[in-house]
Amino acid sequence: MKFGHFDDKEYEYVITNYNTPLPWINYYGQDGFFSLMSNTCGGYMFYKDAKLRRITRFRYNNVPRDYGGRYYYINDNGTIWNPGFLPLKTKLDSYKCRHGLGYSIFESEKNDLKCELLCFVPLNDLCEINQLTLTNNSNKVKNVTLHGVIEWCLWNAVDDQTNFQRNWNIGEVEIDDKTIYHKTEYRERRNHYAFYHTNIKHDGFDSDLDTFIGLYNSWCDPSAVLNKTSYNSKASGWSPIASHMFNLEIKPGESKTIIFQTGYVENEDDKKFEKLHVINKEKAYLLQEKYATKEQVLKAFNDLKNKWVTLLSTLNVKSDNEKFDRMVNIWNQYQCMVTFNMSRSASYYESGTGRGMGFRDSCQDLLGFLHLIPEKSRERIKDIASIQFEDGSTYHQYQPLTKRGNADIGGGFNDDPLWLIAAVSQYIKETGDYTILDDPTPFNNKEGSEKPLIDHLRASLNYIITHKGPHGLPLIGRADWNDCLNLNCFSKTPGESFQTASNFESGKAESVFIAGMFVLYGKEFATILKNIGKNDEATKILKEVKSVEDATIKYGWDGEWFVRAYDAFEHKVGSHECEDGQIFVEPQGFCTMARIGEDLGYGKKALDSVEKILTNDYGVEILHPCYKEYHIELGEVSSYPMGYKENGSVFCHNNPWIVIANTVIGNNERAFDVYRRNCPAYLEEVSEIHKTEPFVYSQTIAGRDAKNYGEAKNSWLTGTASWTMYAASQAILGIKPDYDGLMIDPHLPKEIKNAKVTRIFRGVKYNINITNTASGKYLMTINNKSIEGKVIPFDKNQSEVNVDISL
């Protein structure tokens, strides 16, 4: 069942039924001011860090689930309704929520009164605009009372939900006839405040939550709204909010527009106040004047739309598969940009108060947006590499506001260092710019410890080389990519983290997955070294690669698939010898991509096993059979009920590895089959089962052993976005940035007979026309001349290159 439809021309998903199976959200913002917006106007805003600088309040685990946002109450002759359906749930005559790229438009109508609400964060400004237009489609004059309201958060989102003995004393606001300023803690240690403003004077306001709502009422029946009034309450302590009321007379056919703005301002320490206790509002006024008219808002909105169109034109495909095109051109790239901004911090599943930026997550995310924002990617790489230690190990996470490693979690996730090579090599391939290797980059953010970035890559490899176990395979540490495979932790205490509970440091448990990574990225680093003339070093690295490759062939092969790991007692994990967890997906993907045992047919066999044993209707499950009991020696993986999360769901992140691996062995049909199974656009029709947004990937889809088989969870912030983007563009379409030029090596399924791709690569536009006759013969012509090989040598003097490929 569908709850809306794609509008590809507008780059939108249009939700037409507000009863979506879960809140379907969207994101706004790019440079600091960020918002989450659900299809019922729920969600919240923050500045840069969702934990330390939360602007509006949102209660996770609330009842109902999605409660609190920007609410507009329209009282039309006693019928009160909201443009996003919640919180009142008054039945609407019509409803649409158009989630677009960085904005949403709500179009709803009740009793011939139409409301159009346009919401977005403009480029380059720290505010969210909500432009609300009411149109009277009846033939009588309407007298409408409109309340707009948001609820302030007291900045630190954790304190805000815990430290009430303090919080309920500190709330402070300033009020004038268009604006409520939220200035809690500004008197002392903060230099930032927020405001809620309207472009016309209001007819009343409230800034105290309990007064506006009424102590025994709720968002469904706020006292002020029911009584068509405002109490002009001035918050002092308790919970400050901002509400503006308007009494509007709207004639038949007439429209009235009000622009609501939630803004954020920082002042220098010596410019904080105008006079004692009165905040300096200069910057706020500038921001307010910038969005005071419909024309100004429209211009800002168009600028935003154009920015996205330009950005996404970097890669565009027009093939005979509409769903594939829509994901590649619009939603998958958009999701990659959202993960660039959010990492894993704030979604409807990530509270914004938990994880910082992950080392491995951020490195992998880069693969999805490097082509869109290479400059910002370079900065990001530097931030990530700066939390690495000199021995090559790394902090697992860092906080975006401070950029410091997170000491609570520490390091010891032994796959982490290698992801840096994945990110840096991809950066060089995309930009052709090797100077990144010289960028002075500190270790553990210590001043004076700066070394050229290439030394960080060396340290990464060296860490693996010097940390091997009894079989010559890399030690796993606290976990590798699979956070839940905790072979050295042995956790018994309820509530403790499975990853950091360290009471059993075996020094023995090994990971075949890291072996696959080492071989793949070790070879990659060797290529970089050769390209910069360091042949001897490259040879040395390749020797190390060979030794891990040999160990994997010898100890990492189970007969029909790759083993997953060796535990602390040197027992196999992910082998037919095990009772549960006989096969894991991760090493099948990575070892095949790394071509380990290629001439022995390992990859082909491994992928056949993946198809036979792990593939379900919605993709490839992470392992099989699911663990039925808790295994203390395996850790969190066996803590989840069967079919959920790491214990046997389709963990979407590693599905694209199987897609790519299948293209490596030349199985194009199967590659596309795996791609299709968990592709959101393909799952739109079964939204009642899949439940999450049909336009973005989720982290997991419950596996066959789960009670809710097929149900997705944790949408938006997942490495699935970048890896699928990589798989779709570089493996299936085969448009691969390479060191010396653009490689074109498509692996299209038979059903895609033609694909016209435009790709802007290092400033040159490539028009690539791929004809797929499935002949098995590859032919490339450039500007009508036929060419040997698959790489178009880069020539910066050309501005446009026309390429024809026939397959």
117 vs 593, beta carbon nearer ligand GLC: 593
Q: What is the dihedral of CA 584, 588, 594, 598, to 10 degrees?
A: 140
The least CB distance from residue 487 to ligand GLC, in Å, is: 14
413 vs 562, beta carbon nearer ligand GLC: 413
**Phi, psi at residue 86, to the nearest 5°?**
-80, 155
Q: Which residue is nearest to ligand GLC (CB)?
A: 483
588 vs 699, beta carbon nearer ligand GLC: 699
Calculate ∠ Cα 639-645-650, nearest 5°: 140
The least CB distance from residue 484 to ligand GLC, in Å, is: 5
The least CB distance from residue 35 to ligand GLC, in Å, is: 23
The least CB distance from residue 725 to ligand GLC, in Å, is: 16
Rounded-to-integer distance, Cα 387 and Cα 424, Å: 15
Rounded-to-integer distance, Cα 605 and Cα 609, Å: 6
The least CB distance from residue 578 to ligand GLC, in Å, is: 19
91 vs 628, beta carbon nearer ligand GLC: 628
First-last CA distance in the chain: 37
Whether 630 contacts 639, CB under 8 Å: yes
The least CB distance from residue 150 to ligand GLC, in Å, is: 30
- Comparing CA positions, the residue from 560, 663, 666 lying closest to residue 608 is 560
Q: Is 195 left (phi over 0), alpha (psi -120 to 50) or beta?
A: beta
The single-letter DSSP state of residue 135 is: E
Give the chain's length: 807
448 vs 494, beta carbon nearer ligand GLC: 494
Helix, strand and coil in the chain, % to nearest 5: 30, 30, 40
Q: What is the dihedral of CA 166, 167, 168, 174, to 10 degrees?
A: 120
Rounded-to-integer distance, Cα 490 and Cα 352, Å: 29
Whether 339 contacts 363, CB under 8 Å: no
3-state SS, residue 91: coil
3-state SS, residue 466: coil
Q: Which residues bind ligand GLC (CB under 6 A)?
A: 344, 358, 360-361, 481-484, 499, 636, 645-646, 653, 699, 718-719
Q: Residue 732 has which token pair? A: 């299936």
How many other C-beta atoms lie within 10 A of the C-beta of residue 485? Answer: 30
The least CB distance from residue 278 to ligand GLC, in Å, is: 45
Rounded-to-integer distance, Cα 174 and Cα 181, Å: 5
Containing 113, the helix (H) or strand (E) segment is strand 113-120
Whether 240 contacts 209, CB under 8 Å: yes
CA atoms within 13 A on the CB side of 48: 12
Radius of gyration of the chain (CA): 28
Catalytic (active-site) positions = 483
Amino acid at residue number 541: I
Rounded-to-integer distance, Cα 524 and Cα 506, Å: 31
Q: Residue 423 has which token pair? A: 């990110």
Strands 698-701, 712-715: pairing kind: antiparallel
349 vs 682, beta carbon nearer ligand GLC: 349
The least CB distance from residue 361 to ligand GLC, in Å, is: 5
- Comparing CA positions, the residue from 93, 91, 116, 114 lying closest to residue 106 is 116
485 vs 674, beta carbon nearer ligand GLC: 485
* The dihedral sign for the CA sequence 728, 731, 735, 736: positive
The least CB distance from residue 485 to ligand GLC, in Å, is: 8
**Phi, psi at residue 188, to the nearest 5°?**
-110, -85
49 vs 646, beta carbon nearer ligand GLC: 646
64 cis-preceded (ω within 30 degrees of 0) = yes
The least CB distance from residue 700 to ligand GLC, in Å, is: 8
How many other C-beta atoms lie within 10 A of the C-beta of residue 295? Answer: 8
The least CB distance from residue 651 to ligand GLC, in Å, is: 6
Whether 373 contacts 359, CB under 8 Å: no
Rounded-to-integer distance, Cα 424 and Cα 445, Å: 19
Q: Residue 470 has which token pair? A: 């009894």
The least CB distance from residue 402 to ligand GLC, in Å, is: 20
The least CB distance from residue 375 to ligand GLC, in Å, is: 25
Whether 522 contacts 544, CB under 8 Å: yes
3-state SS, residue 154: strand
Whether 202 contacts 177, CB under 8 Å: yes
3-state SS, residue 234: coil
Runs of H (alpha helix) within 581-654: 585-593, 602-609
How many other C-beta atoms lie within 10 A of the C-beta of residue 355? Answer: 19
